[in-house]
A = this chain, B = another copy of it.
Amino acid sequence: MKPEILLSTIIEFLGDEVKGFFGCPEGIIIKHLKAPNDVDEYTLDWVNPARTDKQFIAEQSKAKALLISTDIEYSAELQEQSKALIVVDNPKLAIAKVGNVFFVANKKNGIHGSVVINAAAKLGNNLFIGENSIIGDCIIGDKVIIYQNVVINDGVIIGNNVVIKPGAILGFEGFGYERTKNGELIKFPQLGRLIIEDNVEIGANTCIDKGSLSDTIIGYGTKINNLCHIAHNVIIGKNVIITAHVNISGSTIIEDNVWIAPNSSLIGHQSIGENATIGMGAVVIKDVPARETWVGNPAKKLNK
């Protein structure tokens, strides 16, 4: 059963975000969101405000209803097509909110019978835990989604509304060795914890180590993509974006709202200032000041 939603219901849901209208939403039915090439009369379409040809995009769309920014005119062309335009500050954000509420199926709560949970673990309410995941002696908040084949070690603390994708490995010993005179490698004790705050998302097959003598901390709202490695004692702030294949070495500090592009590497014991951007494949071997963009190998400040 595909949904059929009245455009007026969507407008009601968006509430204060709606800054104005053109045309008449009455009787328009929305069945889906679609990529530009697949838009049809039942699509809720949107126009990216960053595009220079946005007026043209709105006029060419096959949709009857579009979310637009304030700088599109209700031209003769648009009027003739009787399109319904809903003006919002950020059309992409509005489409995301609409999509999440009306078109994304909610994960049902439940813990699969194959899940192994340590008897001492403290679990919150409304959890989803997928097949074959293994939960050690740890603390998990409410409304957490743990997908399949995830392994969470003893001593991990997880907040509310956290999403952990399949195959993630959380809270195991970090990689620290000291060489003896004859070359043998002796492991440095790894006795700290891993703390994951509310609203964090952790990607598939990503590995986050616990701290050695202090803790590893992933801050509120931070999103981490697939196949990342985050080493012991790393401290990550709020609402940071860490894309796929990123490597963060031990004791690195990453401040709020930083954006780290794919496959970049951060050397240990350095800090990345708030709102900084690290470019794709960047090899960062120094502190990065707030709000700067660094790229290259070795990474240097990008002067735009």
Contact = CB atoms under 8 A, between A and B. Distances in A.
Contacts of A295: 298
A188 interface: yes
A259 B233 CA distance: 21
A92 B221 CA distance: 36
A302 B92 CA distance: 38
A151 B151 contact: no
A241 to B, nearest CB: 7
Chain B CB within 10 Å, residue with most, of A239, A283, A285: A283
A148 B166 contact: no
A185 B241 contact: yes
A172 B204 contact: yes
B103 A189 contact: yes
A211 B249 CA distance: 30
A157 interface: no
Contact of A134 (B37, B95, B148, B183): B148
Interface residues of A, number: 91
Interface in A116-143: 116, 130-132, 134
B223 A175 contact: yes
Contact of A178 (B90, B104, B187, B225): B90
Contact of A257 (B131, B173, B183): B183
A1 interface: no
A51 B34 CA distance: 53
Interface in A227-242: 227, 229, 231, 233, 238-239, 241
A296 interface: yes
Task: Specify the main secondary structure of chain A where it touches its partner.
Answer: loop
Nearest to A215: B35
Interface string A149-175: 101000000000000011101001101
Interface of A: 32-35, 37-38, 89-90, 92-93, 95-97, 99-100, 103-104, 112, 114, 116, 130-132, 134, 147-149, 151, 165-167, 169, 172-173, 175, 177-181, 183-192, 199, 201, 203-205, 207, 209, 211-214, 221, 223, 225-227, 229, 231, 233, 238-239, 241, 243-245, 247, 249, 256-257, 262-263, 265, 267, 280-281, 283, 285, 295-298
10 contacts: A32-B191, A131-B134, A151-B166, A183-B239, A185-B239, A187-B201, A207-B226, A207-B244, A262-B265, A283-B297
